Amino acid sequence: MKDFAGRTAFVTGGANGVGIGIVRNLLNAGCKVAIADIRQDAIDRALASLDNREVMGIRLDVSSREGFREAADRAEAELGPVSLLFNNAGVNLFQSIEDSSYDDWDWLLGVNLHGVINGVMTFAPRMKQRVLAGEQTGGHITNTASMASFVAGGIPGIYNTTKFAVRGLSYSLRHSMCDYGIGVSVVHPGLVKSYIYASDDVRPDELKREMKPVDTDHVKRLEGVHEFGMEPDVIGERILDGIRENRANIFTHPDHKEEVRELFDEILSDYRDYPPDAGFDQRVGFEKMRQEKFSETRRKARDLAR
């Protein structure tokens, strides 16, 4: 999809970080934009900085299915049908899996994974139906994962889990939505100049019962690290470039290319040349048909950009 002008976009986590970079680039490209964020003060600051262009703010907890539906209805009533969806909201928790609680899991899964699911389940059927009815041409769904969807250290364990899941969701959705001329991309940012290090500030009270005390010294150190993260506007520009080319993966940071190559080499090195077992030939025959069909599906999805 090459032309953004005149389209309506919905951006979660849109009031700061990667989100505000996406918003500013969309507005510069001639879009109407709904900024969805859980913090009203952040929404107000974002709107005040955008010169009253065709933009609105909506307070939204992305983990709420009903809240997402209401936000979608409101955005489309004011700005028109959404054909560009950015599931970008995210939080982080810097601790290992074995040291985490169920409250920790429910919080991160609710925002990072269920928030993406809720966005997709709210907007994808609407976009598909409008294409089928001849009311919309094309569109794009962009889900923000992270380099943490490839690079999984011991910390942050739950965050890694959610981002791997967003990558898988995005790949599958890409291969179904291409039938309707709607592209899907997953974004993998590295270090960003943002406030994600202070995610505990927006943690719901009902999910604080089993949380560990906030390590304020660690948060302060992370604040210093994020100061040299990539500027959100640069990331937003690169994301729009990736959408124009309908890339399955949008890598905004060149920092990790060799590390990813090394990781995939390690994965391939774990294969073993075992001797054929009973049923091997039949299984390989079935897999060959599946692989050919999958290859054709990926080609079809890539060709949306042409």
List of the chain residues with pLDDT < 50:
none
Q: Is residue 90 part of a domain?
A: yes
Q: Is residue 114 part of a domain?
A: yes
What is the pLDDT at residue 91? 96
For residue range 261-284, what is the model confidence (pLDDT) as tens digits?
999 999 999 999 999 999 999 999
For CA atoms 171, 130, 244, 252, the dihedral sign is negative
Q: How far apart are the first and last CA of the chain?
A: 8
What is the pLDDT at residue 235? 98
Q: Is residue 224 part of a domain?
A: yes
Q: Is residue 162 part of a domain?
A: yes
What is the pLDDT at residue 89? 97
Q: Is residue 3 part of a domain?
A: no
CATH number, domain with residue 16? 3.40.50.720
Which residues form the catalytic set? 159
What is the pLDDT at residue 198? 74
* Pair of tokens at residue 97: 């899996």
Residue 211 lies in domain: 8-305
What is the pLDDT at residue 222? 66
Q: Is residue 1 part of a domain?
A: no
The whole-model pTM stands at 0.95
What is the pLDDT at residue 217? 73
Cα–Cα distances in angstroms (integers) from residue 213 to residues 93, 137, 210, 217, 223, in the given order:
12, 50, 9, 12, 18
Q: Is residue 2 part of a domain?
A: no
What is the pLDDT at residue 1? 64
Q: Please state the domain count of the chain.
A: 1
Cα–Cα distances in angstroms (integers) from residue 96 to residues 27, 99, 110, 171, in the given order:
39, 5, 18, 27
Nearest to 177 by CA among 220, 120, 105, 262: 120
Q: Is residue 193 part of a domain?
A: yes
For the chain, count helices (H), then strands (E).
10, 7
By CB atoms closer than 10 A (0-12, 13-18, 19+), residue 242 is buried
φ/ψ (deg, to 5) at 154: -65, -30
